[in-house]
Amino acid sequence: MKKQDSYFVITLILLLGTGLLVKRIEAGVPVELKKPLESLPLEHGSLYGREAFDMEKNYEAPSADSSLYRTYAESGIPQSVQVYVGYWEEQNKKKKIKLPRYVFDGWGYYRMREKRIASPEWGEVTFNEFLNESGKRRELVYYSFIVNGSVLNNEYMLRLTNMWNAMLHRRNNAAVIRISSFLADDETVEQAENRLEGFLSSFTPVLMHHMDG
Amino acid sequence: MRDAAVNDKSDIERAFEFPGALKAGILLAALLFLYFPSFADMVGTWRNSEAYSHGFLIPFVSAFLVWRKRKSLQSLSTETYSRGFFMFLAGLVLLLAGSLAFDPFTFRISFLLVLSGLLLIFLGREIFRELAFPIGYLFFMIPLPYIFMKSMAVGMKLTYAKLTYLAVSAAGVPILMEGVCLELPNASLVVGDYCTGVLSIVAITAISTLYAYLSQRTLAGMALLVILAVPLAMLGNMLRLVSTVWLTYIYGPRVLDSAIHKYHGLLNFLITMAFLILLAKGVSVIDSKLAKEVPG
């Protein structure tokens, strides 16, 4: 066989083999939650939660297999905490985790940074923090991702972990958690940070018990 | 006579005669099997997104660049180059990575490497060298990743807001800045994602790359023009933002709903193109000097 003919056969086999592997990857295995997100307790410390369906309009994540939109508030304190949790049993071209770093129309965001939050049960977890603002209106947001029972704040690590799991275990399930709160006019960002980080510190372990892994 | 007729054909023409054409057709079919769904989605993006509508032109530009080289391609000899497998395999690895990550950008970029690898393997280095730019130019038809665009937009919004604030306040306009919000006495403005001109920078880079390739003689000259085009585009966008704020201060928020604001971006793009042509003339002077110092 001439060299060129043998190269032709090799390249054809590699192309077709890769194509079949791609098809296999695309047919992954969905992984269900340990417990449904709706069973997350409505009472959390001194806060009481209610379903907040109006939040769905802001966060376009219709591709999640399970979603939770809630507002947790404490009586006498106007500033509530908005919680969004989305879980994907499997991801593919048509449905995958979208960055929860959205803004409202006409708003801008900045102050993007990492925050380590101490959690009694889980040690330290890292979230991304940013401030949404429009004029005097401000919203402080924290978000992170959950894969294999770990909290990852870096979207590239999320993708790499999903790729690794897809290759080895044919699964790429993952979740995103986004919490936010509007600041009072006289509230400093540091005060809002303490408020939200206190919430996250106790809420994250509860949430993790609902996740797989 | 028959020998003369056979000898009239170039290596590349002979490569694509039967059974070469059949093999090329089979490989093309395999590539279509792999890439057609993703490229069909990409065409959908071109159609639905104003910012990526230039994607329709890129394959034609690339084909035109290949056509321009037809005489030089016919004079080159083909070879079977086994080291082309490195590029080919790298492309397949990227293809797998793009599939695993459901990242269409990586998946589509892999096409350029796979195609380049196949050309190297079956047509050889000389012909690949001639086709490298036309193939590489196809990069500009591929929509950039959403994460990358979003991150760029965030950084640029803050930078533009700050620079616009400095420029406008230096001109004596009373203005306050809070993050990406600019407060005038008569209006509040927000530097949004669209205002950053990230996507017009992509288009301008594509145009400047082509212009550099066609107008400059040395690689250094081409690189210089492309590198300078990006800050030029950003400067053009800055002028757009400053003039929008200035006009809003003078005439009020109705400017934002007017035709001025609507077509401001297009006018700015055309002005940037004009500056690009002037810049290219300047770079050509340097390029000519470089070409003289390094003959051939």
Separation in Å, CA B295 to CA B69, B130, B218, B287: 21, 19, 10, 12
Query: In this predicted structure, what is the pLDDT of residue B43?
Result: 94
Distance CA A69, CA A67 (A): 7
When the pLDDT of each residue in chain B is averaged and rounded to a whole number, the result is 85
Among A residues 60-89, those touching chain B with beta carbons less than 8 Å apart: none
Q: In terms of CA atoms, which chain A residue is nearest residue B147?
A: A99
Q: Which of B80, B158, B190 sits opposite A134 (nearest CB)?
A: B190
Nearest to A135 among B104, B178, B191 (CB): B178
pLDDT at position B285 over 50: yes
A6 near B CB under 8 A: no
Q: How far is B80 from chain A (nearest CA, A)?
A: 6
Q: Do B34 and A18 touch (CB under 8 A)?
A: yes
Cα→Cα distances B6→A74, B16, B67, B73, Å: 89, 14, 23, 17
CA of B83 vs chain A CAs: smallest distance (Å): 11
Separation between Cα atoms, residue A208 and residue A55, nearest integer Å: 22
Name A69's bridge partners. A84
Segment B125-132 long-range contacts (CB within 8 Å, at least 24 positions apart):
B125/B79, B125/B81, B126/B76, B126/B77, B126/B79, B127/B12, B127/B73, B127/B76, B127/B78, B128/B81, B128/B84, B130/B69, B130/B72, B130/B73, B130/B76, B131/B66, B131/B69, B131/B73
The predicted pLDDT at position B49 comes to: 81
CB-count exposure of residue A17 (10 Å: 0-12, 13-18, 19+): exposed
User: What pLDDT shows up at residue A85?
Assistant: 92
Contact at CB, A159 and B103, closer than 8 angstroms: yes
Interchain CB distance below 8 Å, B30 and A15: yes
Mean pLDDT check: name the lowest of B113-127, B144-158, B199-213: B144-158
Strand residues in chain A grouped as ranges (E): 43-44, 47-51, 66-74, 77-88, 108-119, 123-134, 137-147, 150-152, 174-182
Q: What's the pLDDT at B5?
A: 44
Residue B236 above 60 pLDDT? yes
User: Which pLDDT score is estimated for A105?
Assistant: 59
**Closest chain B residue to A92, measured at CA:** B102
Tokens 């082309």 label which residue?
B84
Enter the tokens of residue B234.
């950003």
Q: Say yes or no for a CB contact (<8 Å) between B158 and A14.
A: no
Residue B91: pLDDT over 90: yes
For the ranges A126-135, B16-25, B75-84, B205-214, which has the lowest average pLDDT? B16-25
pLDDT at B217: 83
H helices present in B76-197, as ranges: 84-100, 104-123, 125-137, 146-170
Q: pLDDT value at position B16?
A: 67
Q: Give the mutation candidate from B99, B103, B118, B191 for the A interface (greatest A CB count, under 10 A).
A: B99
Q: ipTM, 2 decimals?
A: 0.77
Closest residue to A108, CB basis, from B104, B121, B157:
B157
Amino acid at B184: L
Q: What is the pTM of this model?
A: 0.76
Each residue's pLDDT tens digit, B141-161: 999 887 677 777 777 888 888
What count of CB pairs under 8 Å joins A to B? 105
| Tokens, residue A82 | 């908005």
CA distance A63 to chain B (A): 14
Does residue B87 register a pLDDT over 90?
Answer: yes
Return phi, psi of residue B183, to 5°.
-105, 115
Given an 8 Å threshold on Cβ–Cβ distance, is B181 in contact with A159? no
Instruction: State yes or no: cis peptide before B19, omega within 30 of 0.
Output: yes
Q: Which of B33, B83, B102 to mutate to test the interface with A (most CBs of A within 10 A)?
A: B102
Rounded to whole angstroms, what are the CA distances from A137 to A129, A165, A193, B224?
A: 17, 41, 16, 44
- Cross-chain residue pair B80–A91, CB shorter than 8 Å: no
Element housing B181 (H / E): strand B181-183
A101 vs B contacts (CB less than 8 Å): 150
With beta carbons under 8 A apart, name residues in chain A contacting B183: 135
B158 vs A contacts (CB less than 8 Å): 110
Least confident range from A100-109, A154-163, B189-198, B242-251: namely A100-109
Report how far apart, in Å, the C-alpha atoms of B208 and of each of B81, B228, B270 are. 33, 9, 13
Question: For chain A, what percent of residues have pLDDT higher than 90?
Answer: 26
